[in-house]
A and B are shown apart, each in its own frame.
Chain A
Amino acid sequence: MILSIKDIRHNITHFVITTIGIGMLLMVVLGMGGIYRGIVEDATLLIDSVGADLWIVQKNTRGPFAEISRVPSNLVHRALAVPGVKFAREFVFHTIQREQNGKPLRISIMGLSWPTDKGEWIPLTSGRPLKQSHFEMIADKTLKLSIGERVKLGKETYTVVGITESMINSTGDGIGFFTIADAQSIQFDTPSEAVRLERAAREARGEKSEIGIKQPSLLENAIKPAAELPQIARPQISAVMITMMPGRNADKIAKIISGWDDVSVYTKLGQRELMLKGNVEKVRKQIGLFRVLLTIIAAVIMALIIYTMTLDKIHSIAILKLIGAPNTVILGLILQQSLILGAMGFMIAYAVGQKIFPNFPRRVILKDTDLYQLAMIVLAISICASLMGIWKALKVSPNEALS
């Protein structure tokens, strides 16, 4: 006869409600770990999936993810000239917030180096990679856009041709892939009036300058579109990504590039470190501390529950002692209930978590190791929680059965 189960059956409603409560609490503990995992994964997802071996960024910045980086687009050609470099691609990346159908739409825009990169490397759940140099985009599922849907960004309208899954930036915004040119025209979109004013301003500046007075024909050029003027710099890109030839040492190539005075260079690992040490570190600590707090709270609550369950049984425990039950029986009764409570709570936490976490706005990743870890934590909590009850039970005198 298993006394712990008999007692639970006798108080089944009470026990079920308690277990659900504990389960929910443990679910939050589990979720906290999952959120942390999610943040780490999200932070490094793009770095991993883009698959560049080296990143060249603006001198002394930790870009392009941790902070803004600006490099000229011709840096691509310089990078290509370094021995051991197989590809060099432009990297354009920025986040915008617009409206679509009256709802806010946050897109993390990433440029693809058309025509070398049409996005074939991007894992699509449906649709296709880009097929033309303009006005097509690949959207992540989280953007809630569907294939064929048209999105107006700046002066142009872009058609969704492919859908990805889990392509998000470190703050959880879905990524939209465009050609570099499109990405830049979205980024540097200027209203016609602003363009007209800028051209007029250029002319005015020219009229005042000595060279403008000496060479009036220059002024005619100054009012032309910026793109037609060789003197005016092309829009800058965020970084240059390098793919090495197979078998090359990334550190060696990085050493060469780090000799250039206008840029800094990071390996893929370095970029990951920057993300994890910089952006994610505080969040990680925050969540970690919350998790510790919640674990302690769960332990305290479980201890109180087990303790009150024991108090409810004091008379029965005294009777058991009176009829000669050894301490192991009484200890077992309480410890078993604590373990059953913990185990059921854990199962509820897992089952409910699996159902509701996918609906959270940011990813909650449950790894097997985290589940084992939580199982161990729950085991430890259950044992600790039962200690107070056991202590109380062992102090009960068989005399109390008579009162």
Chain B
Amino acid sequence: MSNDSKTDYAIETTNITKIYGSDNTEVVAMRDACMQVKKGEVVALLGPSGSGKSTFLTAVGLINPPTSGQVIIGGKLALDGPVAKTNLRSFRRKHIGFVFQKSNLIPFLSAVENIQVAMELSGESSREARRRSLELMDYLGVADRADNLPMALSGGQQQRIAVARALANHPSVILADEPTAALDGVSGRQVMELFSKVAHEQDAGVIVVTHDHRALDVFDTIYEMEDGLMHRKSDHELSTN
């Protein structure tokens, strides 16, 4: 693996550490986390609540810069410690798709518009964006709810729309933080499989934070966090679980 050139990695973090607060209120949420995700690789991130999974994911997602360490996306250094090395927002728009535990849809936009808006922000024409959004919705089995507001959708349906939005701009990185918490087992697995499929088809690197041990077979690699420390689980560890 050490022979792989840098650009084969969709995501690379080197010793990222996040310290919240200062002095006596200091919390080290994540210490020296290192992860390398190849293009087309699907990674699961496990760990108990409060172990720093979200902190790691938001650092990789360029929305919560680390205190130190580097975040490299698609071979490009994006964050050097807290310092932005690129326009983070436009970088996110072009390269990163997010899905979070709560669906995070915009309440005043209909389901299809929630997907469409992400495409339009990337310069897609309104017509084409709508066409592709409906296509994605169809693919995720929620096409019939296109014109409903998020409020009128079930948790699972909302989550699928969020997934569709994350995939809208063919991202090279997909980050999902407990995306299946609102879904039942079957549809949870469906979503995981979709991520895997997209990763392989689009050569994207995917990190999914999950508690759901039933769907772990979908993943290529598994990492675990505990008290802010991250380590990669060997296949042996997995089989004993």
Contact = CB atoms under 8 A, between A and B. Distances in A.
* A and B are interacting partners: yes
Interface centre among B64, B90, B93, B106, by most A CB within 10 Å?
A: B106
Interface string A316-331: 1001111111100100
Q: How large is the interface on B (under 10, 10 to 19, 20 to 34, 35 or more residues)?
A: 20 to 34
Given A324-B90, A399-B64, A402-B58, A319 B104 contact: yes
B175 to A, nearest CB: 11
A322 B104 contact: yes
Contacts, number: 74
A80 interface: no
A10 B89 contact: no
Given A10-B149, A399-B63, A326 B107 contact: no
Interface string A6-36: 1101110000000000000000000000000
Interface in A321-352: 321-326, 329
B7 to A, nearest CB: 22
Nearest to B64: A399
Interface string A382-398: 00000000000000011
A274 interface: no
A325 B108 contact: no
Interface stretch (B31-39, B116-124, B181-189, B218-226): B116-124
Interface string B78-100: 00000000000111111010101
Contacts of B105: 319
Given A6-B109, A323-B165, A326-B89, A402 B54 contact: yes
Contacts of A7: 108
B116 A324 contact: no
A6 B113 contact: yes
Contacts of A1: 109, 113, 116-117, 120, 126
A181 to B, nearest CB: 76
Contacts of A329: 121
A398 B58 CA distance: 10
Interface in B170-184: 177
Nearest to B92: A324
Interface string A351-373: 00000000000000000000000
Contacts of B126: 1
A9 B117 contact: no
Interface in A305-322: 313, 315-316, 319-322
Nearest to B101: A402
Contacts of A401: 100, 104
Contacts of A376: none
A402 B120 contact: no
Interface string B101-137: 0101111110001001110111000100000000000
A6 B108 contact: yes
B92 A9 contact: no
B53 to A, nearest CB: 12
B73 to A, nearest CB: 13
Given A316-B106, A319-B104, A325 B58 contact: no
Contacts of B120: 1
A151 to B, nearest CB: 65
Contacts of B104: 319, 322, 401-402
B105 to A, nearest CB: 8
B121 A323 contact: yes
Interface string B211-241: 0000000000000000000000000000000
Nearest to B96: A324
A218 interface: no
A323 B106 CA distance: 11
Given A398-B63, A399-B64, A402-B100, A319 B106 contact: yes
Interface in A261-315: 313, 315
Contacts of A3: 109, 117
Interface centre among B58, B96, B104, by most A CB within 10 Å?
A: B104
Nearest to A323: B118
Contacts of A398: 63, 89, 92
Contact of B98 (A6, A313, A323): A323
A324 B117 contact: no
Interface string B48-87: 0000001000100001100000000000000000000000
A323 B58 contact: no
A322 to B, nearest CB: 6
Contacts of A322: 63, 92, 98, 104
Q: Nearest 3 CB-CB pairs, A to B?
A: A324-B93, A10-B108, A324-B92
30 contacts: A1-B113, A1-B120, A3-B109, A6-B113, A10-B108, A10-B149, A313-B108, A316-B108, A319-B105, A320-B106, A321-B89, A322-B63, A322-B92, A322-B98, A323-B117, A323-B121, A323-B165, A324-B89, A324-B90, A324-B94, A324-B118, A325-B89, A326-B90, A326-B121, A397-B63, A398-B92, A399-B63, A401-B104, A402-B54, A402-B58
Given A399-B58, A399-B64, 9 more contacts: A1-B113, A316-B106, A316-B107, A320-B117, A320-B121, A323-B165, A324-B92, A326-B89, A329-B121
